[in-house]
Structure 1
């Protein structure tokens, strides 16, 4: 926040002359300044009007600055308060900082320092408000109603998410790779009472057993080679929030036992420590494995499975929610067009038809990658079939396969004349973009002859 926003400043000082000088000075800087001659009046005014900043003396007759600071902070902890104190009373300044003051200034005031400190305090408040707004947008973006998808399968899933999120229940999210399990985990967190706490994500498959234990629970200095200082684990980082354990089916049996204890006791032990630490976290786990089958095969602990499986949500594969493909494709199109500073209006009918006919074994992640690639390559306002990957563009893939087969046959193999003509005609049409007149010219024949050959 800067002076041009007309921030309101309350000046609290029982020295009338000093207060008058500050009022004139701060008003001259473009702020709206008001005055009070003691702490009691300052508390009353702060309750009546939301000041953007308070500049307050420590020593006042009726109520001192420290006491007034505590009362104002108890009522509205967001107001930044600058304390003014004499050089001989720096102890009071330290006490004020501990009580919640933003900063302190020593008398006689250096007005340049005062102005800079005020600007810094107001900017700090502005950034906090901006961060809160961004966080609210983040929460809104993970509202179950805002997640892309109108298929029956997704509608039922998001209805369940809306019911599960407000609870404290442990959640197990299942589904194939690339279906969006992490997105569902975020939706659960940001629609829960823990939404203002941290959401910590751990990819269990990416770490060895030793590293995973240290990553989850932390370690003491000297616990192992390279542990040169104490480190907080992800569980402690997620305290008062949610921890998302992705690919939970990949952890070893030893780690399964340790994780079971954490879920049961809500306690962790750093590697190299004998002390148990209490943690308050909600656990959301995800896997692309069939954990029930893993239990039956003896690879996953049954007791841990039941602890994780309090609520199970299954994210459907993209092939089972085909009607969501156009919505998702347009969502990713706008996302990547903005990121690449391009104008993208949509997909040609042929390109969208290919997206709809493809079965998407890589699910939503594969679709996202395909659209990103297309946006990078697209020369115009619309994505055409030419910009789609070969896996999606089956016709182009088939043509390339035929061309490769011709190359593999080698020059020694003699092809029937009709087959040679067919390949030459197809190649000419490909080069000319389907223009038959131009293709005939390239082949050295008349358009009528070309049409006859095409008909045959």
Structure 2
């Protein structure tokens, strides 16, 4: 199976050659875009379609603007899309000229399909890896911009357009979206696109800080301000002086800290614990939450006046399930990174049916979950491309698997699968004939083997091994275990998703004896 991800621009003045290349690229599992000459190729790569092009196959000999001319123009415009040149003259001088002009590889006419396939896969992988490395470096240095964000989704394009506009001012921004959609990445891009680029971007996960330490961590404290304050501590607001403060999960802030945050926004100054006078701070505030703050305001859990100070410029990031067109390109970038980290250079793509599987799943953990899923698949993979067998949990979640049935292909479940109890004996069989009164109350025999199969990943069994409805207490314990595992022990998230308070969650952990497996585990950022 061939990997299926990239979109390739084919540039050739010969219509027959363009057609042959188009068919070869399609056979390899990629999409294609055609250009009849060099000038058209340059126009495409400098226009709105350029963001969708992953690689260029460029003929060297064309009228007006030849291959060298196209390469020169792309380099002048700082367009780094990888290029494979094709030529009927494979002399060393031709190859050297093409490479010096910016090409990454070359193929000689008549083309070898195998040689072209290997070249395409290698360049796509290298390009993705270079992109990941560039993003890491820019994010670390505070120079990440919206041009570095990997997306092909119209919904994300709207997010990026809003972010670009917000970056040009100091307006407070509230980023909303589910856990794992990339709120911190958008905050980094806003910082890197603003006048504060290269200045500190200080990130605080408000939900991961113990309530008794929130004020000290945010606003700082003086030496001796309280028991244990043996040294002066500079808070996050002062660390972000001149730069940007990013408050993730801002809805988790205690009410007394919300008051101090409101004053910091209104007056541009903070009061460290034990300090004699306020401290002036210059910062740009970006807040984020995976909950609707307006609902927390209605519930009295969040100050209304602070909400209106934070929600001046709202940006909502759509979940991954609403932008499946981003899954292929994100998967390619994660694959390149983890294949390099794990020392598996032979893993260079994703099989088409495996990619279809990934796009069929609803990704409750969004991009963070996709990243971890690709990581696991790379570790499992022994071949040249990731296959369905490398995604067992995803396959179990989206496939309607009949117990004992050999899996032979994909049968995708509805977009929002609803767990159903196994059918009762009366539902499976036709209605029996009327029975005497003495037999009417006798329950029919239960086929116990029908209930011994484990439920697919993401589902819960409603019936026990004897065919009877399971006890609520048993199902509750199982659901809590599943939630803790699914959200990696982040108790704030677990409690929120279960719809209970953290104190209630910890009480239930104690009741079910689950404390041992979670003791000392802090909520992850």
Question: TM-score, normalization: structure 1?
Answer: 0.57
Q: 1:330 to 1:204 in 2, by over 3 A?
A: same
Q: Quick check: 1:373 aligned with 2:376?
A: yes
Query: 2:204: which partner in 1?
Result: 202
Deviation string for 1:26-45 (max 9, x for gaps)? xxxxxxxxxxxxxxxxxxxx
Query: 1:298: which partner in 2?
Result: 300
Consecutive unaligned residues in structure 2, runs of 5 or more: 1-134, 405-448, 456-464, 467-525
SS of the residue 1:258 aligns to: helix
Structure 1 residue 200, shift from structure 2 partner: 0.4
- Bigger mean CA offset, 365-374 vs 391-400: 391-400
Consecutive unaligned residues in structure 1, runs of 5 or more: 1-132, 412-456
Query: 1:324: which partner in 2?
Result: 326
Deviation string for 1:116-158 (max 9, x for gaps)? xxxxxxxxxxxxxxxxx99668669732122111111011111
Query: 2:274: which partner in 1?
Result: 272
Matched residues, number: 280
SS of the residue 1:231 aligns to: coil
Query: 2:215: which partner in 1?
Result: 213
Query: 2:232: which partner in 1?
Result: 230
Query: 1:349: which partner in 2?
Result: 352
Instruction: Check the 8 A contact 2:145/2:188 in 1, yes or no.
Output: no
Query: 1:359: which partner in 2?
Result: 362
Query: 2:152: which partner in 1?
Result: 150
What is the distance in 2 between the residues matched to 1:136 and 1:158?
A: 17
Query: 1:78: which partner in 2?
Result: none
SS of the residue 2:383 aligns to: coil
Query: 2:283: which partner in 1?
Result: 281
SS of the residue 1:342 aligns to: coil
Query: 1:453: which partner in 2?
Result: none
**Aligned with residue 452 of structure 2, among 381, 385, 405:** 405
- With CA pairs under 8 Å and 6+ residues apart, which has the higher RCO, 1 or 2? 2
Structure 1 residue 168, shift from structure 2 partner: 0.8
Instruction: Check the 8 A contact 1:391/1:397 in 2, yes or no.
Output: no
Query: 1:185: which partner in 2?
Result: 187
Instruction: Check the 8 A contact 2:361/2:398 in 1, yes or no.
Output: no
SS of the residue 1:286 aligns to: strand
Query: 2:261: which partner in 1?
Result: 259
What is the distance in 2 between the residues matched to 1:235 and 1:286?
A: 16
Query: 1:418: which partner in 2?
Result: none
Deviation string for 1:258-286 (max 9, x for gaps)? 11011111111111223100000100000
SS of the residue 1:270 aligns to: coil
What is the distance in 2 between the residues matched to 1:284 and 1:140?
A: 15
SS of the residue 2:180 aligns to: coil
Instruction: Check the 8 A contact 1:171/1:283 in 2, yes or no.
Output: yes
SS of the residue 2:258 aligns to: helix
Q: 1:141 to 1:262 in 2, by over 3 A?
A: closer
What is the distance in 1 between the residues matched to 2:293 and 2:219?
A: 24
SS of the residue 2:401 aligns to: helix
What is the distance in 2 between the residues matched to 1:140 and 1:213?
A: 26
Task: Map 1:42-81; keep pairs closer than 5 Å.
Answer: none
Instruction: Check the 8 A contact 2:143/2:197 in 1, yes or no.
Output: no
Structure 1 residue 406, shift from structure 2 partner: 4.6
Query: 1:165: which partner in 2?
Result: 167
What is the distance in 2 between the residues matched to 1:400 and 1:168?
A: 58
RMSD value, Cα: 2.8
Deviation string for 1:216-238 (max 9, x for gaps)? 01111111222111111111111
Instruction: Check the 8 A contact 1:243/1:284 in 2, yes or no.
Output: yes
What is the distance in 2 between the residues matched to 1:325 and 1:163?
A: 26
What is the distance in 2 between the residues matched to 1:407 and 1:308?
A: 47
Q: Quick check: 1:383 aligned with 2:386?
A: yes
What is the distance in 2 between the residues matched to 1:173 and 1:198?
A: 19
Q: 1:375 to 1:221 in 2, by over 3 A?
A: same
Deviation string for 1:239-261 (max 9, x for gaps)? 10001000001111111111101
What is the distance in 2 between the residues matched to 1:407 and 1:165?
A: 51
